[in-house]
Structures are given as C-alpha cells and as structure tokens.
Structure 1
Amino acid sequence: MEALRVEFATGAPRLWTAGDMVRRGLVTTVSSPAGTAAVVGWAGPVRDRLAGARALLDAFARPGCEPPLPAGDFAAVLVYRDRVLLMRDRQARIPLFFRESGGRVSAVSTSARGLGSAAELEPRYFCRYSTGNLAQPHTELSPFAGVHRVLGGEVVALSATGWMRGRTRRADDPPAPVADGCAPARELRRALEHAVGRRLGRTVACHVSGGTDSTSVALLAARLLAVEPGGTGDLVLLGGRFDRGELAGERPYLDEAMAAVRRQAPGARPVIVDADDVADFDDFLHHAGDADEPHAHAFRAPFWSRLHAAAAELGCDTLLTGCGAEPVVDANPFQLHALARSGQLREMTRQARIRAAASGQGVRDVVRTHVVEPALPLAAERVARLVHRGTVLGGLGPFTRPPWLRRGFARAHGYRAAGAAESRFVFGRTPEQSLYDAANYLAAPDPLSWRCARQNGFFLSHPFLDPEVVATMRRAPAEATFRPGRPKALLREAMADLLPPGIRDRTAKIPFNEPYVRGLRSHGDELIDLCRSARHPLTAEMFDIDTLCQAVREARLGMGDSRSWDRMNGSLALVVWLEGLLDGRAPAPGAAVPVSVAS
C-alpha cells in the first residue's frame, strides 16, 4: 500500500501522499520555514498527530543533530532545503522503502511493490524469508532488486537530490533507574498505563479475548477514558465468539472480561463477532497474493479481517491489542542461560528444577531449550533433524533449511548465512536481552493491518511492545517475575485491582489450533493443487514441490509442531505471492495528493 511517495527525478524531491489516508488521519503532513514532514501513523500521542509531526520536523531541523526518536508507530519523510531524512520508529510497525542505484535514491515509498519490478526479484531476500517469521522486518533486503528497507529505529540521510549521505540506527534508550521503594508491579502498571494512554484516539477499539493480556489493555483504556473531562473518547470492545468446538470454552472468560470493562466504562460498546464458520486459509489467494511482500501469517488473516471490519464499520481510529505480553511480561526463561554463562551452575540447576516442576517438563528438556539451544542454535536444530528422520516436518525448527527449499538455490543465494544471521538476531550474545527484540516481530506481525488500513481507517497498536514497557520488564529482577505455576505473575499483581477473579486466576488458555486444523482439512487439497499449478519460474527454482505438498499432507495429519507448520505456512504464502506478481494483483492505489515542499 502506498501511503506516501517521494521522487527525485527532476533533481529536487517531489512528495505525494494518499488523499484518503490523509482525510482519515493515517497520514499527517506539516510544513514550517525549515521544511516539510509527512508522517504515516503517529509520533507521540495518537490524539495529537499534528503536534507530533511538527515536533519531529523541528527536532531534526538542525543539521548534524541526533535527537532520540519519539514513541509511536510511524514512518516519516522529512524534507528540508538541503537534505531529506527517512525514518521509522524502533518497533518498525509502518514500512518504508527506497529505490537506490549507484549511491543515488530515485524514489521512496511505503510500498516495496510500488518501487520494484516484478521482473527483477532479489533471490537473497527469499532465502532470508525462508528462515522463519522474524526475517522480514529486520533485514534491509526487499523482494525486489534495488529496493531497500529502512530498518526500525533507523534514520537515512539523503541530499536534496537523492544522494546517500548516511544511515544511522538509534540505540534503545537505557532503562531508567527504578525509584527507591517502587515495587516492580507498580512500575509495570505505570508503564502500561502510559503506553495505553499514548494510543487512545477518538474512537478506540480493544481486542478482548478473555485472556489476561487483552483484558488488561481494555481495562486500562476504559479507566483512562472514564476519567477524561467531558468523556472525549468512545470505547469499542471487539471479541470473536466461538459457540462450537474447544474454543467455546473461552466464552465464559470473554463474557467476564466484557462485563469487567463495562463496569469501568458503562458506555463501552461490546461488539461480538461470530467466528464459528471462520477457518485459516479461507480466501488465501487474496490474503497472501495481494500483499506488498510475502506475508507469512496470511493463513490467519480471515479471522482478524472479520474482526477488523467490524471495528471499521463503527468508525474506530485506533485498535489496541494484547499482543506481545507473552514474551515481554512473563518470566524470562533465558535467565537460565545468563546463570550458566556466568558460571552459576548450581543456581541454574535449582531454577531449572522449579521451572520443570511448574511446566510438567523434565529438567533436561528445560536446560536444552533455554541453555543449550540458545548457545548452539544451528547445531541443536541439525541434531533434531537427524533424530526425526523420515518425515518432512519432524524436527524442523526456525533456522535450518526446510527440506522443500532446494539445496542448490539455498547454496547459491546465501541460505547458510541467512540462517546464522536469524539465529543471532533471535538469541544474540545475551538471549535474555534478545528475547525482547525478537518478541517485537514475533508477537505482533501485522502486515494485514497495514494492507487494510486504507479501508479500515486505523492501524493496530500494541501497548505491551511499547519501549517503556519493555524497558520496565528488562530491569525487573528475576525473583519478581518468576512465580512457579503462575505465568505473568507481575502483570497479575500490577492489575490485581481491576482484573476479575476468573481471569486473574486462570493459568492456561485454549490454544487457537481449531481454526488451523479446520482450515487445513477444508483447503489442504486446494493448497496442494495451488503448489502443483504454480506458474512463476522462481517457485520451481526455489522449491521441491513434491516435498512441500508432502509437508501439507503431514500437517493435515497433525504431524510436526507449531514451528514446522509456520515454516510451511510461510512457504505457501510465498508461492501465492509470486503468483500474484504474475497476475498483477497489486491493490489499487488511492488518489495521490502532491504536497508542496517548503523552500
């Protein structure tokens, strides 16, 4: 989707924005004597997008200054008299790309497809994509040759005529010191309230599933809106209801969560969407084929798009989720790795035994998962593949080459280096720190939100992935976060006065497996036929189609695990995406509005 575009064809930057997105408040443009800024999303509080865009323009107005990037979900282009700056927030929610050749940028856009040529693809990107679900947002490569991604937290400086001047990454701010006597739970509550408050718009929708995470966000949004003078915000509670199957067991928790939020904000409007007939892979050709770049989670788009459409009908301008809480506010399992790395083997063993007893695992399993595998991720996966010989999906983790990716293609285009880079990103030198960076991309992949923003009128936003919340959890001591048998103990303590008892005390949630199983049973033959009939030449060059089809058959039988299924789902989405290039199924662009650049 092209929300903004900059071209340097005439020697000076020319800026366009999507008119309908400007009217909906999704794109904000401001000008001053210093220059012009176009901000997609929001920098600073959602409700004051204009002030946030002005502050961003003013902060970078002086050449050579390197101010910190503000909180928010945004991509921005700042056009000054002597230079152009491209930037994204550290969480990298909004995409931004540039087309470059010989050190000169010819165009900038939020759409990689809008800048690239379907006849000139970048094979290295497809190797990196095939390593797993985290690859896309943190690699510079795009699917198209010569088109590069502005990375999260990065500022790209160009001359006024498009020549590259430099690229810098803004490091995360160091965690602020904890106030004396301030309990970790109180710190988390304050950080989460700030994160939710920054994301409140005029009409706010909150996902409510009946879990601790989404209910906490909705309760804080309701509480903050209730104390506003004059009640300046409306609240919509958005939930998907299943009346059949195992997910029907979530219905009582959904009802309890809705009732608790409405006690805080009686005017909140519950919107319950019937989802019994939704299955993963419904309309897969549309959800995977029309994306700007391959969308590994396109298989789950039918459920989310139905919920988001309901929010759009009510005119919501922000939609908050509970995504990210699982890895961010739960006890960090890689603390075991830190203990082993520092030689505290006795303490590591003691904590591993406690974790094993709480989770029903063996001590060896806990140590292997949280100590050995992070230290030797590629070797651990190769051993697992040897142990699980005989099936396509058995032992397939997030890094090693999936058996359907042809060895020759992988060797020619750097799959080994891509797998190593991905493992370093996920675990890094200190896995207990890398967990939060990886969680940002794993917990909330929302290309669907981006692709549908023009018609829906909002972007998704995730308070648990706010930098302040992540920094708060990074400095929380392990003894405060780890309570055996009580996941997310610190969040439960922080929200104890608001969470209803049934949700506060539950320790397990029904997994979202049923729509996936139903989708594979309903569409498995279609997916196999789709692979066998694929026309794009790169599909046959990359994939052994028979092996990929065998993976689909095994998944239908319940073989493999969630990680191996994710690898298969991503490859299927790539097959459909390449077919979309042949058919020219790019989304119709909105009307472009030229923006006068201050001079």
Structure 2
Amino acid sequence: MTSESRRPAPRSPGVHRVPPGHRLVLTRRGASVSPWWSAPTPGHYEVAVARLRTALTGAVRVRTGAGEPVSTDLAGTDSTTLTVLAERFGPVTGITAHPRGVTAGGDLDFARALILPQLTRRTFELTDRHLPFAEAELPATDQPPLSAHLWGMFSAQLAAGLGVHLTGDGGDHLFQPAPTHLAELVAHGRLLRAVRDAGQWARARRISPVPLLRQAAGRDVTALATSGPGAAAPWLTPDTAYDRDPVDRTAAAALVDSLRAAARHAHADTELAASIGVELHNPYHDAAVLDAVLAARSWDRVSSIRYKPMLVDALGDLLPARHRDRTTKGTFETSFHTGVRARLPHLIDHCDGRLAALGLIRPDQLRAALHRAALGARTPWRTIVAAYGAETWLRAVDDAPAPSWTAHTTPARTTP
C-alpha cells in the first residue's frame, strides 16, 4: 500500500468547500456563493489607530461588561493591554507564569509595574510537571489545538484563574507579522525602506536578508509570509502539501490567512479550556479588530525598529512607560529544551505514530531533530510543535469514546 492510498481524502466527492469570507445561500433554485467580507481599503494611519482602540475596547467590554471577575494572562504587551482594558469594567486577576526559583526579571517585573485599583496580581510557578511536552491526557477537540504541547502547564494555569479567562493569543499575528510588507514597499518604490527593514528583520532572527530582498523584488508575498528560522522542516514529506485557498499576493491577504489559521487552532484551545470548566476568550481574533488593523497600510502597521507599534500607538497611553518601551517578549525556549530532554523517549515514540503511518513525516529525520533539541541545538520549534500537536491530537481523537445517538421522533404538525 502506498502512502498516497493511506491518506484521507481531502474532501468528499461532489462536495466543494465554501471559501473563507464567503456565504453559501441555498434556495429552491439551487446554491450560490458570494463574498460577505473583504479587507478594508487602507487609509490614514491615525484613523486606523483610533479604530483599533475602539474595536479592542469593545471586544473586551462585551466579555467583561457584566462586572463579573475575570482572569487574564499578565505577561507580554498583548495580554497586559487586555488586562488594562478589562480592569476598566470590573475586577481582574492577572496571572504571570515564571520558572521555579525565578522571582524577578522578565514578565515578573513587567507585571509588578502594572498597578490598577481592581487588579489582583497572581504568580504561577512552573515546575517539572509543567514543562513543554509533559505527558498529560489531552481531551479530543475538533482540530489540533495551539496548546497541545503545553497542556500540562495550560490546564494548571487556567485552573489557577477564574471561570472567565482572557488570553492575548493572536496579538503576535496582528502586530508582529512576517515581513510581507517588504513586497509592498518595493511595489510602491520605497526601496531604501525595504532594504533597511529587510536587514533589521533578518539581523534580529539571525538569517540572511538576501532571500528576503529577492522575494520582495519578486513580490512573492507567500514566501515572505513563511520566512524566518524554522520555516522549513526536512522531516516533512511531499504528501504534507495541500491545496490552500487562493489568496491575493498582498500583505493584507497574508495577514488574514495567518490569523485565520491561528484562530482555528485557538478555537480548539477554547474547547480544551471548556473541558475543565473555563470560558476562554481571544479578543484579538474579533473581526472588528482585524478590520481596524487592515485599515492601515502594511508598512505603517509594522516596524523593524519598534515593538508592535500599532498596538502601542492605539492603547499605549493606558500602559506604564515600562510597557510602552518594551522591545521584546518573554521566551521560555530554555524550558522547551529541558522538556525535550525530560520527555525524549515519549517524543521519539510519537515519531512512529499516526503521521508516519499516513506518510506525512520522515521518522528518522524527526528523531534526529529531537535529539539535537535535547542537546540544546538551535531548533525550529514551530514545526516541531506542529508535528507533536497533530500526532497528539490524532491519538486523542482515536482514544475518545464514540458518540452515542438516540432516536427521537416528533409527531408531524397538522396544518390547520
């Protein structure tokens, strides 16, 4: 049996997918598909910034307006902004995770700098059982969740919060995206800005700017959208390719595509949270917020020298100066290496699982990558996490009990 014959069919015969942003209308005469959403035409940056402030404030208000206490992640700029907005409408408990034995620095210092009348700060100490890839029973969800590799930590942190929890997921996609704007800079003749941004973006990620400039010159937005370390994974086979919905070669389309994919996986996180009784919300995924961001030109809303400029310009006056001037986000990369070392046999076992049986990965190459990660080598975590999440999710779905169905008949209505 070939790997191709083992792959599930991409869709049922005769069934076509409704493109994102379109509506399907069924009538007696048949079916029609028409667009119901399109990206707004970019305009003045100041107008877009004001629109973002209104949209994000509204997104938080509808989730906290009843005045019931909520909890938030209190860490990076995205989650801190949500915390500040939520506190305007009621009590908030901000939770900051930190490694065991670490009592200062990083997110802890930023959390202490935020002082609000209705804010209660709470710390969450990460122990060995919270390491990435820690073995924990993952509930079955509709699709692979973002937090599959962090479920041990994620579930414990959610349990330490309140029944309604706000997370900053989606902020990185909106305000610190891949350098797709380079293609539009070239298209509009802003060559010096394109060269400067490509150099600074590449330097920060320790890669060569030459491919970025080549892709920008060719206006290859798709390639720019997947640029950066870890964009390619040698353990993936050609069978992992799939037909993506066609997107325009614009930075706006790339941003929508990126956020749409993130939102699908984040929805699975809400299912995970619901399994332990927590109502999880992602305000940055709201349509009004996306519209506001896209109302600015691509090269205005991103910067290679400022950290998340559009978010800071929209709501920075509500944040302490320490947060407005922040240039980086917290990282737990060391804990990822530690997690791989601690769980290496478990991870190696995953290399010969469902993905390998479907012919989607090369197990030998994935095992080699995991061994290098255990030794502390530079690791493409994005693709490692994606492979682990997909494998774990497939196992959770296989192990989930089958749904039971009950027949129920209702007497037919009699027309008077």
TM-score, normalisation: structure 2 = 0.77
1:280 pairs with 132, 136, 139, which one? 132
Question: Matched residues in 2 for 1:153 and 1:193: separation?
Answer: 24
Report if the CA contact (8 A) 1:280-1:515 is conserved: yes
Question: Matched residues in 1 for 2:166 and 2:123: separation?
Answer: 16
Deviation at 1:337, TM superposition (A): 0.6
Cα distance, 1:191–1:445 mapped onto 2, change above 3 Å: same
Q: Give the corresponding residue for 2:60.
A: 196
Question: Matched residues in 2 for 1:146 and 1:365: separation?
Answer: 41
Deviation at 1:469, TM superposition (A): 1.8
Cα distance, 1:326–1:550 mapped onto 2, change above 3 Å: same
Report if the CA contact (8 A) 1:328-1:465 is conserved: no
* Helix, strand or coil at the partner of 2:158: helix
The one of the two structures with greater contact order (alpha-carbon pairs below 8 A, sep at least 6) is: 2
Question: Matched residues in 2 for 1:360 and 1:530: separation?
Answer: 34
Once the two structures are superposed, what CA deviation does each residue of 1:415-443 show, in whole Å capped at 9, x if it has no partner? 55x1x637x55xx4213432133123237
Q: Give the corresponding residue for 2:70.
A: 205
Q: Give the corresponding residue for 1:240.
A: 97
Q: Give the corresponding residue for 1:110.
A: none
Q: Give the corresponding residue for 2:195.
A: 352
Percent of aligned pairs sharing the same letter: 24
Question: Matched residues in 2 for 1:598 and 1:374: separation?
Answer: 59
2:387 pairs with 571, 594, 597, which one? 571
Contiguous gaps of at least 5 residues in structure 1: 1-119, 126-140, 226-232, 385-394
Cα distance, 1:490–1:568 mapped onto 2, change above 3 Å: closer
Instruction: State the aligned residue count.
Output: 402
Q: Give the corresponding residue for 2:276.
A: 455
Question: Matched residues in 2 for 1:251 and 1:325: separation?
Answer: 20
Question: Matched residues in 1 for 2:384 and 2:321: separation?
Answer: 39
1:217 aligns to 2:88 (yes or no)? no
Deviation at 1:183, TM superposition (A): 4.5
Question: Matched residues in 1 for 2:78 and 2:180: separation?
Answer: 21
1:548 aligns to 2:362 (yes or no)? no
2:289 pairs with 469, 473, 488, which one? 469
Cα distance, 1:367–1:219 mapped onto 2, change above 3 Å: same
Instruction: Spell out the pairing of 1:123-522 with structure 2 (5 A cutoff).
Output: 123-125=8-10, 141=11, 153=21, 155=23, 166=31, 168=33, 170-173=35-38, 175=40, 183-200=47-64, 202=66, 203-223=68-88, 225=89, 234-244=91-101, 249-257=106-114, 259=115, 262-263=116-117, 266=118, 268-277=119-128, 278-283=130-135, 286-287=137-138, 290-295=140-145, 297-311=147-161, 314=162, 316=163, 318-330=164-176, 333-342=179-188, 344=189, 347-353=190-196, 356-357=199-200, 360=203, 364=210, 366-368=212-214, 374-375=220-221, 377=223, 397=231, 402-405=233-236, 410=239, 415-416=240-241, 418=242, 421=244, 425=247, 428-442=248-262, 445-446=265-266, 447-458=268-279, 460-477=280-297, 480-482=300-302, 485-522=305-342
1:557 aligns to 2:375 (yes or no)? yes
Question: Matched residues in 1 for 2:83 and 2:17: separation?
Answer: 33
Report if the CA contact (8 A) 1:247-1:512 is conserved: no
Report if the CA contact (8 A) 1:191-1:472 is conserved: yes
* Helix, strand or coil at the partner of 1:175: coil
Report if the CA contact (8 A) 1:433-1:474 is conserved: no
* Helix, strand or coil at the partner of 1:210: coil
Cα distance, 1:596–1:455 mapped onto 2, change above 3 Å: farther
Report if the CA contact (8 A) 2:356-2:363 is conserved: no
CA RMSD in angstroms, aligned pairs only: 4.4
TM-score, normalisation: structure 1 = 0.56
Deviation at 1:282, TM superposition (A): 0.9
Deviation at 1:187, TM superposition (A): 2.7
Deviation at 1:279, TM superposition (A): 0.5
Report if the CA contact (8 A) 1:296-1:566 is conserved: no
